[in-house]
């Protein structure tokens, strides 16, 4: 959901600042292309997590289209912004296409790992919007981990991308409190909402000629939670409710 919905307000407010939108796969090509590795990956992930990932991407996006609620892609079409699906952003052919655009910066909301040749293309660098407060909360599935660990707040970190995951210089962090009624889905949705003001801040900084950056201290990296982690969380909270899913759907 964050990758799909977080840019909606930005597309609507700043269409002239966007050269193109590229849709990347949720599953890295190197993993999807190797059946044995792919199924080994699936076996490690709890069924609950897999079902939620389907819900928060394909189902969520499909319902918004079905109900004519609008998506970043329908807005892009309205503003004549090119939208293209890219299976492998690290392929030489796509890198040449990106070079031809001569963009200043790439905003990344995809889990795909972008290689060094890609990262060198934008004039001012590539910026990742990470759903967690860095450096302490790197990795994936933080909307689970912050609840499993009973955190009082979380947020989204905008940081420059380098060749290691979630370790680049920090540009800015937007935080929000975690309430007693928050679920995995509501935390995930709140992270998607606060991506937009981060994008606004970076766009304004670019217009001033420089994006702020602060080096990260060594942090922690997490993978998806295990079945035991999910079982522990379900004793304390619901993973999502119809109410919070509907709230995000109609936002």
Report the CATH number of the 2-249 domain. Answer: 3.40.50.170
- What pLDDT was estimated at residue 182? 93
Evaluate whether 43 touches 232 at the Cβ level (below 8 Å).
Answer: no
Digit-coded pLDDT (tens) for 6-23: 687 888 888 888 999 998
Locate 49 and state its tokens: 């997590």
User: What pLDDT is attached to residue 44?
Assistant: 61
Q: Is the dihedral of CA 64, 68, 73, 76 positive or negative?
A: negative
Cα distance between residue 172 and residue 208, in whole Å = 16
The helix (H) or strand (E) run that includes residue 229 is helix 227-234
Chain segment 193-242, per-residue pLDDT in tens: 898 889 999 888 988 888 889 999 989 999 888 888 888 888 888 888 87
Q: What is the pLDDT of residues 27-54, one digit of tens each?
A: 555 444 445 555 555 566 667 777 776 7
- Residues 167, 4, 198, 22, Cα dihedral to 10°: 70
Of the pLDDT bands very low, low, confident and very high (cuts 50, 70, 90), residue 93 is very high
- Beta-bridge partners for 21: 83
Model pTM score: 0.87
- CB of 158 closer than 8 Å to CB of 172: yes
DSSP state at residue 135: T
């Amino acid at each position: 959901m964050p990758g799909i919905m977080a840019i909606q307000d930005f597309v609507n407010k700043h269409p002239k600042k966007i050269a193109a939108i590229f849709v990347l796969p949720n599953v890295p090509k190197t993993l999807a292309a190797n059946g044995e590795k792919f199924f080994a990956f699936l076996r490690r992930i709890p069924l609950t997590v897999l079902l939620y990932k389907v819900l928060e991407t394909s189902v969520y996006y499909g319902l918004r289209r079905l109900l004519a609620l609008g998506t970043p892609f329908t807005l892009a079409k309205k503003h004549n912004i090119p939208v293209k699906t890219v299976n492998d952003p690290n392929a030489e052919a796509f890198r040449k296409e990106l070079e031809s655009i001569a963009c200043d910066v790439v905003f990344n909301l995809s889990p795909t790992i972008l290689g060094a040749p890609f990262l060198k293309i934008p004039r001012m660098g590539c910026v990742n919007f990470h759903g967690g407060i860095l450096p302490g909360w790197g990795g994936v599935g933080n909307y689970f981990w912050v609840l499993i660990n009973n955190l009082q707040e979380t947020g989204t970190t905008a940081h420059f991308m380098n060749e290691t995951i979630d370790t680049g210089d920090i540009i800015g962090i937007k935080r929000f409190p975690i309430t007693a009624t928050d679920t995995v889905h509501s935390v995930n949705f709140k992270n998607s909402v606060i991506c937009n003001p981060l994008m606004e801040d970076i766009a304004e900084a670019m217009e001033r000629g420089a994006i702020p950056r602060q080096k990260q201290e060594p942090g922690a990296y997490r993978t998806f939670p295990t079945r035991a982690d999910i079982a522990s969380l379900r004793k304390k909270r619901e993973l999502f409710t119809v109410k919070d899913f509907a709230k995000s759907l109609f936002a």
